[in-house]
A and B are shown apart, each in its own frame.
Chain A
Amino acid sequence: MVFVYHFLYSPHSSLASKANTFFKDLEKGNYIGTISSFTITEFLAVVKRILCNKRDKAVSENDVRVIRESLDKFIAQMGIALYDADTLVAGTTVFSDCEDIVESAVPYKGKRNRKWHYVSGADALHVALAIAVKAELYATFDDDFRGVKEWINPFMLSEVY
């Protein structure tokens, strides 16, 4: 979602401002960014959903191509390392790992909204892929990831920035 916040930047969104600051840190070389092709999948799904809801009609193939190209260019110019998710999980037990992650993740109760946050299957897959590339931190705005400390340190952008 951090990419979505940045690409849909609005001065009315504090989260978008935090995403912007985070990417500036990445640009300065304070962190080394790594994503997998599954991140691109998630990005496309989220942006398509937003666009469909805002327009109240289906998104065209051309729209999807434009969205995809924007992300590809950004990744290339930011120097973010991109791993092929299929290659990362080849010969591994990724779905068993995801099961372990979901089982062991600690649900978190939000301080502001008092709602429970828990790790979903897709979240667990992101964590498994981050572990596969030996990532030290998982940068996110999503409180669901607070419960995966046993596996990887969540880098909570809403708190850091």
Chain B
Amino acid sequence: MSINTEAYVERKWLHKETDINNPPSITPKPFNNQFVARRELVNPALVAYAGRYEKVLKVPEPVKPWHRAIRGTTDKFRGCLTEIFPELKDLTDKELKEIEKMRDRSE
């Protein structure tokens, strides 16, 4: 399970079109993009716009968006499968660790 605090990143202009009537007096200096993304998820070839952009991590919409939990959910579901399947009751750490090992072996 992963945790994030900000799911969406908006595309931002780094360089606006200059106003023809009010051209800038000084030529803009070369710009270094400080944002370092580990993975570029948007194919740059698909970006058909002129101008320079921040690197974009486009996260699709979730199937179920995050919302605040209903109070008491943790306790309600604690051991819920052991109630449905009594044979799974009282598993020890050792047994659970063995299950993890089984998972490794299966790969």
Q: Is the CB of A77 within 8 A of B70?
A: yes
Which chain A residues (73-98) contact chain B, with CB distance < 8 Å? Answer: 73-84, 87-88, 90-92, 97
Q: Which residues of B contact A70 (CB under 8 A)?
A: 77, 80-81, 84
Q: Which residues of A contact B91 (CB under 8 A)?
A: 8, 10, 12-13, 16, 50
Given contacts A29-B69, A32-B66, contact A6 B4 (CB under 8 A): no
Binding site secondary structure of chain B: loop
Binding site secondary structure of chain A: helix
**Complex Cα spacing A35 to B68, Å:** 15
Residue among B71, B76, B103, B106 with the highest chain A CB neighbour number at 10 A? B103
Q: Is the CB of B62 within 8 A of A81?
A: yes
Report how many residues on chain B are interfacial, defined by Cβ distance under 8 Å. Answer: 51
Q: Is the CB of A7 within 8 A of B69?
A: no
Q: Is the CB of B74 within 8 A of A34?
A: no
Q: Which residues of A contact B65 (CB under 8 A)?
A: 81
Which chain B residues (1-22) contact chain A, with CB distance < 8 Å? Answer: 1-7, 9
- From A84, A132, A144, B63 is in contact (CB under 8 Å) with A84
Q: Which residues of A contact B102 (CB under 8 A)?
A: 49, 53
Q: Is the CB of B81 within 8 A of A35?
A: no
**Complex Cα spacing A1 to B104, Å:** 12
User: Is B25 part of the binding interface, using a Cβ–Cβ cutoff of 8 Å?
Assistant: no
Starting from the known contacts A10-B92, A27-B73, A45-B103, 14 additional A-B residue pairs (CB-CB under 8 Å) come to: A10-B90, A31-B3, A33-B1, A33-B2, A46-B99, A63-B85, A73-B77, A74-B80, A76-B64, A77-B70, A77-B77, A81-B64, A134-B7, A151-B38
Instruction: Enumerate the 8 nearest inter-chain pairs by beta-carbon distance, A residue then B residue, closest first.
Output: A135-B2, A9-B79, A130-B2, A81-B66, A79-B67, A82-B64, A27-B69, A23-B74
